[in-house]
Amino acid sequence: MSATKRLMKDSLEKLKVDELLERELKEAGYGGISITKTPMGTQITLYTMRPGRVIGKRGQTIKELSTRIEELGIPNPQIAVVEVEVPELDPYIMASRIASSMERGVHYRRAIFWAVRRIMAAGAYGVEIEVRGKLRSNRGRYEIVREGFIPKAGQPALEYSKTATIPVKLKLGIIGVTVTIVSPEAKFPDKVSLENLPEKVEVTAEEEPSPLEEDEEPPEVEEETDEREVKKEKKSNANPENERD
């Protein structure tokens, strides 16, 4: 099997599992999955707000989910349940909250702005919420609400941005809610942090060594004076008559 066909097959399997778990674990606060294939089987990591509802009494619910996932053609599925510590930073959970609010009759703008405030208060770097469909009339339209910084391309967009889309069935038709959240741990090459810097920096000028402190020897002055005295003594010895006078 070529790499392209394998990629398409893996993506289709993940989509089927995602739709099944999203439908079955709607009340448990479903937050998405990640699938890893190993020689022993398929490892599925399930993120949720309420792990107790996913596991069930004596693990009965999670056993039934494993059986239904295996019926989709995934060999030996092994499900690991992980609790979501901050639900406001999970796009699946926030999109499902907006969808449930709209199903109860809350205006979509009110639900969107409520979600934006909660997400930014949780420490997100940026958020974008898009609603598409028949919002007011039979004519389709869309509205987008953004806050903070959201990368659209490059490595930061692939590594730190998470997106989820949840459909909502209303009287006018089906509406799609798409939520994109940028993690607070995001690091961008054009953003420089000036934290943890010293308040004051003392600069001391180095003193230049004096000529006497260097390795060079000082000039010999005493030897020159000794040579002058020797010359005077020779002259006096050469003229003894001057001394007699």
31 and 63: one domain?
yes
Q: pLDDT of 84-110, one tens digit each? A: 888 888 888 888 889 888 888 888 899
Q: What is the mean pLDDT of residues 140-165?
A: 86
182 close to 124: Cβ distance less than 8 angstroms: yes
Residue 245 pLDDT:
47
106 and 78: one domain?
no
Q: What is the mean pLDDT of residues 21-32?
A: 79
pTM of the model: 0.66
117 and 164: one domain?
yes
113 and 141: one domain?
yes
In a domain, 205, yes or no: no
98 and 132: one domain?
yes
From the number of C-beta atoms within 10 Å of its C-beta (0-12, 13-18, 19+), residue 152 rates as exposed
Indicate if the pLDDT at residue 178 is higher than 50.
yes
In a domain, 239, yes or no: no
Domain boundary pick from 82, 113, 145: 82
- As for how many domains the chain has, the answer is 2
CATH number, domain at 108?
Answer: 3.30.1140.32
In a domain, 155, yes or no: yes
35 and 72: one domain?
yes
Cα 219 from Cα 229, distance rounded (Å)? 19
30 DSSP assignment: E
Question: Euclidean distance between the first and final Cα of the chain, in Å?
Answer: 130
Residue 22 pLDDT:
80
In a domain, 97, yes or no: yes
Of 95, 115, 112, nearest in space to 164 by CA: 95
CATH number, domain at 29?
Answer: 3.30.300.20
Q: Which tokens sit at 106?
A: 């809350």
97 and 22: one domain?
no
126 close to 188: Cβ distance less than 8 angstroms: no
Domain boundary pick from 24, 53, 82: 82
- Residue 22 or 227, more confident: 22
Cα 41 from Cα 75, distance rounded (Å)? 6
Cα 245 from Cα 58, distance rounded (Å)? 138
Cα 154 from Cα 28, distance rounded (Å)? 34
In a domain, 150, yes or no: yes
Domain boundary pick from 82, 112, 137: 82
In a domain, 222, yes or no: no
Q: What is the mean pLDDT of residues 173-179?
A: 90
| Dihedral sign, Cα of residue 14, residue 102, residue 121, residue 132 | positive
Domain that holds residue 35: 3-82
Q: What is the mean pLDDT of residues 125-144?
A: 88
Q: Which tokens sit at 3?
A: 């790499």
Residue 130 pLDDT:
92
Q: pLDDT of 198-210, one tens digit each? A: 777 676 766 665 5
For 157, left (φ over 0), alpha (ψ -120 to 50), or beta?
Answer: alpha
Within a 10 A sphere around the Cβ of 16, how many other Cβ atoms?
14
142 and 117: one domain?
yes
Average pLDDT, the chain: 80
